[in-house]
Structure 1
Amino acid sequence: MRNKLTIITLSLSALAFGACANYGETPAAKGVFSLDVRMGEPVSRAVMSQEELLSSAKVSIYKGDFSGKVREYEYSQMPQAIYLPADDYRVDVIAGEAVKENPAAASWEQKSYKGSSDVTVKAGTSSSVTVTAKVSNVISKVAFDQTVADAFQSGYTCEVSLADTDGRLVYDASNSGSDGFFIPSGFEPSLYWNFSGTLKKDGSTFTKSGEIKSVEEGKRYRLNLKYTEKDGLLAFDLLVDDSTNNIYDDIIFEGTSTGIAQSSRYEIWAGHFTAHADVDEAQYDKDKVRFEVREKGTQDWTPVTAVRDSEGTFSAEIKGLAPSTVYEYRLVLTSLESGEEEILAAPSDVTTENAVPVPNGGFETTSNDESGKYKSFYDPSSSDPTLQKQWWGNGNKGATLVGSGSVICYPDASDYKEGTQSVCLQSRWVVVKFAAGNLFSGHFGDLIGTTGGTVYFGRPFTARPTALRLWVKYSGGVINRESGNVPSDGKKGNYDKASIRIALGTWDYKRYGGDADSPVMINTTDVSTFVDFSTDKSTIAFGERLITSDDSNPAKDWIQMTIPLEYSSLTTYPTHIIISCAASMYGDYFTGYDNSKLWLDGMELLYE
């Protein structure tokens, strides 16, 4: 739900006594404009308190035809009733640093807010208006790459300022990556930056400056500073990201109402969504708030008790829904005056997201399209378009250079849980190198001599599952093949482990070295290319299950496992999915037991 700092209710009424042309304070033949206040969620990141923001906020009322200002008030000085003729108006709100007598043109903490909304006051009726005041600063964000610290002595700085203002902010190593807030003035102002530092190399002073023209309110400008040395010349790489950001700490001015509040698109999943409601607790029992939901077109309603998030704000997570389905839900309250239940207004509709399955999750479809030496898990002649192209990759291309007897991923019709076969991943010693049995979404790249190869992970994917479920069987042993740089639990004498990983992310192939379909490229000869998806910044969800081959192995016979996805971002949609399975978890390090076997069957994504 929206991040509320302050809620101001603007209520406008026009009296049905006839028209009046002047805008004085006498009540005859005019409408009434009044202002109420209630507090929303506490301020979490603003230095000014809600009380300070409220008391200093300026509310201006203009005629709708832009012919002039009707009223201007500081909120704390505003009368309880203002009389206005029936007409069209515009309400402007300014709050925060910008309304101070001597505002700071640049600040690390103090923000400014602006908002505007139109309203029509009609004779004999009450009108309400919602004004959302958003952060109106020009925002800087300067970050220093590690190359800057490596090349320069301590004390390097980057000064940022706006044209025609005295406000300046100085970034150094201690505040790298912080937001700076500037109050812009004038027409199409520029943001200036100036870096200065002393090179460790020879003690010389290095400076570089630049200008970002026509900066805009409410936008964050990112300067990522990286030092490089090319062909004996000094260069300073600068990346400016001036894309619009959703700035936090909005102030919301809105009409007080009781009813369903709109859910964010990010809160609507394939199997559940979060419903919200605003409730006037002076009128309704806060302990008896609930939603009712049903599939649209059906008869029976299912009740779901709401949770009180804060005063007047309620929500409920509605679960057990079907994907790609339209549901309707309504708000049910109990009146404090009568004690009777009331159904508030008409139901609201919500459509759940799609549930995209894992292609060939039963591993029933195979072909020799890639090679006559081994089976691949797709078939160009299939009637199902999702099975006609490769989605699952493995390391057979490299392992079978010495012959088909070294296949490390193959269908197994002798041991399966569903259908007619499973897939078996078998680790082997192939002539001079250990090869872990593996299967992954993506494709194998190229061999790098006899030392390793490149592997491309990922497939395009935009859905948001909640878990991976599959049947698993595992047989391993004590590690007998080891490389020199393997982590300590991969040393000889330890039991081998199987790994099953799933990740959703927004990996850019230009950064991660892959291609558009499979953006993450791993070079098995270069540990620096390995990606830890549990901490990777482009990974938005991750789940993992390790299976040991010692006596505690739970999968000596077939068991069904569910691997939950833990989302690090609930407001980002993925672009790709990575599922990676290995009979030896340290196969990337050419380490494991050379006869470990991992069988998989009935793999599916859950959308709960």
Structure 2
Amino acid sequence: MKKIYLSFITVLLVALTAVSCQQDDELKGNVGYLRIEVGTNAYVDTRSVPEDYNPKQIALQILNSSNEVVEETDDWQELKGQQLHLTPGTYTIKASSNGFDGSESGFDIPYYAGSQQVTIESGKEKTANITCTLANVKVTVNYDESFQKFASATTTVTSELEDVAALDFTMGKELKPGYFPVGNLNVTVKVTNQAGQSNQKTTEITEVKARKHYILNFKVAESDSINKPTVTIDGEEITYTFQFNVSTEATTQLEAASANAWSNFAYVEGSVLSAESELEPTAMRFEYKTADADEWTTVTAANEGGNYKATLTALTPATTYVYRMVYEKGEENYVSDEVSFTTEAATPLPNGNLDDWYMSGKTWYPVTENDYNVSGSFWDSSNPATTTGAGALVNKNPTQGNSTTVHTSGGQSAELKSQYAGAFGIGKFAAASLYTGKFNSLVGTNGAKIDFGQSFVSRPTALHGWFHYTSGKIDYRGGNTPEGLGEMGTDDLCSIYVALSKKQKQVDNTKTETFLDLENDADIIAYGQLADAEAVTTNGWKEFTLNFKYKTLDPQDSYYLIIVFSSSKYGDYFTGSTNSVMYVDDLELVYGEPVTE
């Protein structure tokens, strides 16, 4: 292997004692002499970046033991042949390329630096040698002959240090060495073949050190692509060899993208990466099957401006499938790589029939005793506001189980009774509520904080259930109720709404700005609510289905399911009727294709 040795600059500093009795007498024997000479053993081919930068020009500083500069120059030659008078003591001589500190990236801008400590003693001769070595990092890029068949190739080297510019090494242009300050590097190579197909790969180079020369070689693999480059270390040279299994020629290639899988269906799409001839869109299709099946199921691919899409239906929840994009017309037959996906679970709603109730202390919760003690309740209500803390004086549970008014025989429903909750002359109107989430805390005697939403792993498309509502005339109206809502003497309304959020949402009903805005809140990705026309006296049980209207169909990192029932719609404003009663029963989540806005 041809060796490339690191250039270095040697700074020779010679400290001489006095050479004549006349000088000793003149300086009273309390001084030494420093003679400076600089020599180089290699020529540095450089381009001036900055314009006046020349790595061969060595700047010097001489510092005493107090780190004070006693002598300095931008060019050592200004001190050449001179004798410097120094008081005996310890000095540090620093040498480096003048006009640049190595903190930026650029082509052909090596930065050299070195230092040496020397002790000047009266009557003695000292010699100090400083070797200025490469203090930044050198990177070169080479493209193998096999790479020349690509239409284009560019390697971008980026430092992980802040404010350091990336450098591009483009095939077909002069490939000069690049230099970076010491820090980890990211190497991204992007190639485009003659058919216009692009491919790229990024690799991180860690434990980067000064003086190292990183050589990046790229070539086309003869077989399967290698995920990681091979690395060869030879002294200061570290060679990375990258291989890509990407065709340099014009071929026909199809690509199936990642699937957007829901519980019982999946959105799939694909595209034509390259084609030797024009393809007939009607001959394109998708095929899918469970991961362990032998036979494929076919679905037509719809062409949307060159992007092919389809919806795979009747899938099984929590099941792994594979799919591929296929083109077949006459003797032309092309198939993409297979893409795997797993459908979401069709997660049932915990205690959806509302049969389970447990009293902890003075508070009723819709949960079994075991679940309450192990994981807590998925559901909560306004009960803690009137049974705990200052509310314990009231000792009322506006929301509790009811075994008399039920949708189906046996079991229980949730009974929500709006009422005035007060004691000793202190109290407020309390709308009964039932929601997924957690009662957080009281806000003095003025209200409460509620955390709406429970972590969920699926995307439901509707909430189905039954409610029974008797509306009273509004007899309490909070002072912060917006004009035109909940006027005294008008009919009260119940409320049902659902949402799927990216995170849990906290409402403080003493601060109206915290109230949920289902339509405009960026965290809410889907929502639905009962229309006011339906939120009136039902004269018995009434079936309802609330669709989740999705703002986006893209999968998210996390989901929180929000379901809220209230016997008085404007209860957050402490407005409603003490004669309003709502029963809720037999709730279930529906999974299917979503409704969009």
**TM-score category, normalised to shorter length:** 0.5 to 0.7
Once the two structures are superposed, the pairs formed by residues 453-602 of structure 1 within 5 Å of their partners are 453-492=448-487, 493-507=489-503, 519-537=504-522, 539-548=523-532, 556-568=540-552, 570-602=554-586
Answer yes or no: is the 8 Å Cα contact 1:499–1:544 preserved in 2.
no
Once the two structures are superposed, the pairs formed by residues 147-186 of structure 1 within 5 Å of their partners are none
Q: Deviations over 1:312-360 (max 9, x none)?
A: x31112233222101233434341xx3x795736754322123333222
1:428 corresponding residue in structure 2: 419
TM normalised by structure 2 equals 0.53
Once the two structures are superposed, the pairs formed by residues 391-430 of structure 1 within 5 Å of their partners are 391-400=378-387, 401=391, 406-418=396-408, 420-430=411-421
Question: Whole-Å Cα distance in 1 between the matches of residues 418 and 512 of structure 2?
Answer: 20
Answer yes or no: is the 8 Å Cα contact 1:474–1:549 preserved in 2.
no
Question: Whole-Å Cα distance in 1 between the matches of residues 349 and 402 of structure 2?
Answer: 19
Question: Whole-Å Cα distance in 2 between the matches of residues 470 and 387 of structure 1?
Answer: 27
Answer yes or no: is the 8 Å Cα contact 2:400–2:415 preserved in 1.
yes
1:381 corresponding residue in structure 2: 370
Question: Whole-Å Cα distance in 1 between the matches of residues 249 and 366 of structure 2?
Answer: 58
Tell me the SS of whatever aligns to 1:528: helix
1:92 corresponding residue in structure 2: 154
Tell me the SS of whatever aligns to 2:349: coil
Q: Deviations over 1:403-440 (max 9, x none)?
A: 88842111122233356222122212224421111011
Higher RCO, 1 or 2 (CA under 8 Å, sep at least 6)? 1
Question: Whole-Å Cα distance in 2 between the matches of residues 565 and 541 of structure 1?
Answer: 8
Identity, % of aligned pairs?
25
Once the two structures are superposed, the pairs formed by residues 122-161 of structure 1 within 5 Å of their partners are 130-132=198-200
Answer yes or no: is the 8 Å Cα contact 1:290–1:332 preserved in 2.
yes
Question: Whole-Å Cα distance in 2 between the matches of residues 70 and 478 of structure 1?
Answer: 84
Question: Whole-Å Cα distance in 2 between the matches of residues 568 and 396 of structure 1?
Answer: 35
Answer yes or no: is the 8 Å Cα contact 1:443–1:455 preserved in 2.
yes
Answer yes or no: is the 8 Å Cα contact 2:285–2:299 preserved in 1.
yes
Answer yes or no: is the 8 Å Cα contact 1:584–1:592 preserved in 2.
yes
Question: Whole-Å Cα distance in 1 between the matches of residues 169 and 305 of structure 2?
Answer: 29
Q: Deviations over 1:50-83 (max 9, x none)?
A: xxxxxxxxxxxxxxx967456899xxxxxxxx76
Q: CA deviation at 1:504?
A: 2.9
Counterparts in 2 of 1:425 and 1:284: CA distance versus 1, 3 Å = same
Counterparts in 2 of 1:300 and 1:386: CA distance versus 1, 3 Å = farther
Q: Deviations over 1:359-394 (max 9, x none)?
A: 2222122211x234x531123435xx9975222111
Counterpart code for 2:345: N
Counterparts in 2 of 1:328 and 1:343: CA distance versus 1, 3 Å = farther
What is the total number of aligned residue pairs between the two structures? 378
Q: CA deviation at 1:591?
A: 0.7
Question: Whole-Å Cα distance in 2 between the matches of residues 363 and 257 of structure 1?
Answer: 61
Tell me the SS of whatever aligns to 1:469: strand
Question: Whole-Å Cα distance in 2 between the matches of residues 438 and 548 of structure 1?
Answer: 17
Answer yes or no: is the 8 Å Cα contact 1:472–1:555 preserved in 2.
no
Question: Whole-Å Cα distance in 2 between the matches of residues 256 and 495 of structure 1?
Answer: 72
Q: Choose the corresponding residue for 1:273, options 266, 270, 279.
A: 266
Pairwise CA RMSD:
4.6
Question: Whole-Å Cα distance in 1 between the matches of residues 349 and 251 of structure 2?
Answer: 44
Q: Deviations over 1:513-533 (max 9, x none)?
A: xxxxxx533222222332323
Question: Whole-Å Cα distance in 2 between the matches of residues 357 and 422 of structure 1?
Answer: 18
Question: Whole-Å Cα distance in 2 between the matches of residues 554 and 329 of structure 1?
Answer: 48
Counterparts in 2 of 1:597 and 1:286: CA distance versus 1, 3 Å = same
1:349 maps onto 2:343 in alignment: no
Answer yes or no: is the 8 Å Cα contact 1:459–1:577 preserved in 2.
yes
1:111 corresponding residue in structure 2: none
Counterparts in 2 of 1:273 and 1:550: CA distance versus 1, 3 Å = closer
Counterpart code for 1:421: Q
Counterparts in 2 of 1:552 and 1:257: CA distance versus 1, 3 Å = farther
Q: Deviations over 1:75-100 (max 9, x none)?
A: xxxxxxx769xxxx993278xxx999
Counterparts in 2 of 1:565 and 1:255: CA distance versus 1, 3 Å = farther
The answer to which of 587-596 and 464-473 deviates more is: 464-473
Counterpart code for 1:541: I
Tell me the SS of whatever aligns to 2:385: helix
